[in-house]
């Protein structure tokens, strides 16, 4: 990178490309003042801003330095630009105390693509839209034109939109071979709608903006993930089979395990989210948020876990960073002084839908250590639990909550999921179980990468809908991979069932056939298990599922290789096509297909009632897994009966013998 230091026309260039520019015709920075209005209802946020001032800043002085330049923008900002090789960092000093809104304009090209901004469910290529970045519930329905979203909005303020996500991040990757990351936890809105520039808005002056370039996308991801930190490898037991999500107590859960095994379905783990007890609300069957095993529902659970271990099967539970009012651990937390409080000194209780919980103040080292040691270690790891859903993280309120850090909750809110991830990581690491235990999270932010052993795509609807169903987990995996979370999976069959929307056998099996070509296969009974299709109630489905899990376990050598690569170099397991086909313009915008490494392409069927499927193949000779027919570059239509998601592999791939064996055994 190099700087063009001219007061009237300052540039940051890289190989002839202008990455940043400050001139009279193209202001780089804007500042102003605003007053936000934030209303939270059960993790759903209505956020509005009243901007009272916005003005472009002019460069008033410039001082060259050996490693960059120092830019003055009047009495408002000083910007220190530090350049080292292919990386530039802009460090901001706010001089005007009244400034609380900040905009950065980045030069853009009409045909440019951008990816990232955390885990996005609806659109992989961000160009043409804006993306508010605020961790929240994704919404029951994320399409404002649908009945489900409308009814959710009307009845409980729970409808979402295309940009709502549990895992936002102020980072994007450009097809111009750079990534940009903002060091801030404030509310942000990245706007990619203008043909000539991207406009990035922040509700504070960021500490810094980082840009780094590379000659290829693969090298760019290596640099980006080296900066963020990388996920550790998954435990080896993951690849032994399916993690079955069951509940209802020992008799029912372990009975369903036996039924599953009797149908020759390989099982790696039993996930009982209600190991802690359960409660029934209008939303459906939920949990008793008191994170120790429930002696009536799961008597002698530690002994039962030992029996499972003797059979090579792991046990997984559930936790989150809140404790239900009146519970056993809530009382212990009161005595330990671990809860966030209101300004009047009372405990801050959050409404989670017909029950209220205290917020563990993760900014308080004492509270952090208490939850890590006295909850996660003592009640999960020490009784032999091998993993858990580390849920929530996006619910930190913003009104009248006092945190130990002294920071505004508007600044801690986005940071909260990263703190939660680190708390889980430290518990596992300090127990010597890193690489053995696995926890999966839906919420995240900058910093989650290193501390999140496995991402999960959250609460999809139990259907094929464009913004809520099966296809969204493909987009989620691709976007998360572009910001350093390359290990992800989803609830097979989806989770959310409301307003007569129920899971069908077809939804379950299409989801399962896709999941067979992801790092982890895990089922979930959903929020209303009694009215939704369950695999264990259908003989034919169990036979089909046994085949799909068999395919998954047969892929173990490939999956282990890709998971190791993710840990060592930050290249995700599920990859967008352009990572290996940079010059193919079609690959830049494909969001419903993915590569498992450079040599295996997966194009899941995500629409209802399909018997064949259109697939785009990049350059090369590709063999269709199920028919052995060879295809070249371009669109093709292949048979796609239930159970045979379209998969292709390169003819000259090192994995070709493995794929041929899968065809021989399972076609």
Let me know the angle formed at the C-alpha of 656 by 595 and 566, rounded to the nearest 5 degrees.
40
Enter the tokens of residue 530: 């009694």
Contact 105, 199 (CB under 8 A): yes
Distance CA 353, CA 392 (A): 14
The residue annotated as part of the active site, out of 14, 86, 304, 391, is 391
Residue 255 is encoded by which pair of tokens? 């009975």
Q: What is the DSSP letter of 378?
A: H
Q: Does the annotation mark 264 as catalytic?
A: no
Return the axis-axis angle of helices 656-666 and 539-554, rounded to nearest 10°.
160
Catalytic residue among 143, 361, 459, 590: 459
Residue in 119, 394, 491, 593 annotated catalytic: 394
Q: Give the Cα separation of 342 and 279 in Å (integer).
A: 27
CA–CA–CA angle 466, 469, 473 (5° rounding): 100
Q: 491 phi and psi, to 5 degrees? A: -70, 115
459 is catalytic: yes
**Secondary structure (H, E, C), 204-273:** CCCCEEEEEECCCHHHHHHHHHHHHCCCCCCCHHHHHCEEEECCCCHHHHHHHHHHHHHCCCCEEEEECH
Say what the pLDDT of residue 652 is. Answer: 94
pLDDT at 2: 77
Degrees, nearest 5: CA angle 442-443-445: 135
For position 358, what pLDDT does the model report?
A: 97
List CB contacts of 627: < 8 A, sequence separation 6 or more.
638, 639
Listing DSSP states for 620-653 in one string gives: S-EEETTT--EE-SEEEEEE--TT---EEEETT-
Which pLDDT score, from 0 to 100, does residue 285 have? 67
Q: Mean pLDDT, consecutive 10-residue segments, the chain of 667 residues?
A: 74 92 94 95 92 96 90 96 96 97 98 98 98 96 94 92 98 98 98 98 98 98 98 98 98 98 98 93 82 97 98 98 96 98 96 91 98 98 98 94 97 98 98 98 98 98 98 98 98 95 97 98 96 98 98 98 98 98 97 98 98 98 98 98 97 97 97
Give the pTM.
Answer: 0.97
End-to-end Cα distance, the chain: 52
């Amino acid at each position: 990178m190099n700087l063009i230091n001219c007061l009237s026309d300052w540039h940051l260039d890289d190989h002839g490309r202008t990455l940043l520019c400050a001139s009279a015709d193209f202001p780089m920075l804007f500042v102003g003042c605003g007053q936000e209005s934030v209303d939270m209802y059960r993790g759903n946020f209505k956020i509005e801003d009243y901007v009272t001032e916005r003005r472009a800043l002019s460069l008033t002085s410039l001082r060259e330095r050996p490693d960059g330049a120092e830019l003055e923008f009047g009495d408002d900002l000083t910007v220190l630009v530090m350049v080292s090789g292919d990386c530039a960092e802009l460090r901001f000093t706010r001089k005007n105390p009244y400034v609380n809104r900040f905009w950065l304009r980045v030069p853009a090209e009409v045909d440019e693509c951008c990816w990232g901004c955390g885990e996005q469910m609806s659109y992989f290529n961000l160009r043409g839209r804006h993306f508010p970045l605020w961790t929240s519930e994704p919404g029951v329905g994320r399409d404002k034109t649908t009945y489900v979203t409308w009814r959710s909005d009307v009845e409980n303020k729970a409808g979402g939109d295309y940009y709502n996500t549990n895992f936002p991040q102020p980072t994007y990757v450009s097809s111009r071979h750079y990534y940009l990351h903002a060091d801030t936890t404030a509310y942000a809105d990245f706007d990619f709608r203008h043909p000539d520039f991207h406009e990035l808005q922040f509700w504070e002056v960021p500490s810094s903006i980082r840009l780094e370039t590379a000659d290829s996308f693969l090298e760019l991801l290596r640099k980006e993930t080296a900066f963020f930190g990388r996920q550790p490898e998954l435990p080896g037991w993951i690849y032994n089979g399916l993690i079955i999500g069951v509940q209802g107590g020992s008799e029912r859960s372990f009975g369903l395990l036996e039924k599953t095994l009797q149908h020759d379905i390989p099982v790696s783990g039993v996930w009982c989210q209600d190991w802690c007890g359960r409660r029934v609300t209008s939303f459906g069957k939920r949990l008793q948020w008191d994170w120790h095993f429930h002696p009536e529902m799961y008597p002698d659970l530690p002994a039962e876990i030992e029996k499972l271990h003797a059979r090579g099967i792991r046990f997984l539970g559930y936790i989150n960073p809140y404790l239900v009012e009146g519970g056993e651990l809530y009382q212990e937390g009161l005595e330990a002084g671990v809860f966030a409080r209101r300004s009047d000194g009372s405990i801050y209780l959050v409404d989670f839908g017909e029950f209220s919980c205290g917020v563990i103040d993760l900014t308080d080292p004492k509270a952090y250590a208490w939850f890590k040691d006295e909850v996660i270690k003592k009640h999960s790891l020490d009784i032999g639990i091998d993993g858990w859903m580390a849920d929530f993280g996006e619910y930190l309120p913003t009104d009248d909550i006092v945190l130990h850090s002294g920071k505004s909750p508007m600044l801690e809110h986005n940071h909260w999921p990263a703190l939660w991830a680190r708390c889980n990581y430290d518990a596992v690491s300090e127990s010597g179980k890193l690489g053995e235990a696995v926890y999966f999270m839906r919420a995240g932010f900058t910093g989650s990468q290193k501390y999140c052993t496995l991402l999960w795509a959250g609460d999809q609807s139990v259907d094929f809908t464009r913004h809520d169903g099966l296809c969204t987990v493909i987009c989620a995996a691709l976007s998360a991979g572009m910001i350093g979370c390359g290990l992800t999976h989803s609830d097979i069959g989806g989770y959310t069932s409301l307003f007569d929307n129920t899971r069908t056998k077809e939804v379950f099996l299409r989801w399962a056939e896709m999941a067979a070509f992801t790092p982890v296969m895990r089922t979930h009974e959903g929020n209303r298990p009694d009215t939704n299709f369950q695999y264990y109630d259908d003989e034919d489905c169990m036979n089909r599922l046994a085949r799909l899990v068999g395919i998954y376990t047969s892929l173990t050598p490939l999956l282990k290789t890709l998971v190791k690569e993710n840990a060592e170099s930050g290249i995700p397991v599920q990859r967008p096509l352009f990572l290996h086909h940079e010059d193919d313009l079609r690959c830049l915008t494909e969001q419903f297909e993915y590569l498992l490494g450079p040599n295996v392409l997966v194009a899941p069927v995500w629409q209802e009632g399909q018997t064949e499927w259109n697939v785009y193949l990049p350059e090369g000779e590709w063999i269709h897994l199920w028919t052995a027919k060879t295809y070249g570059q371009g669109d093709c239509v292949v048979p796609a009966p239930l159970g045979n998601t379209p998969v292709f592999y390169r003819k000259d791939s090192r994995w070709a013998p493995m794929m041929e064996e899968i065809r021989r055994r399972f076609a």
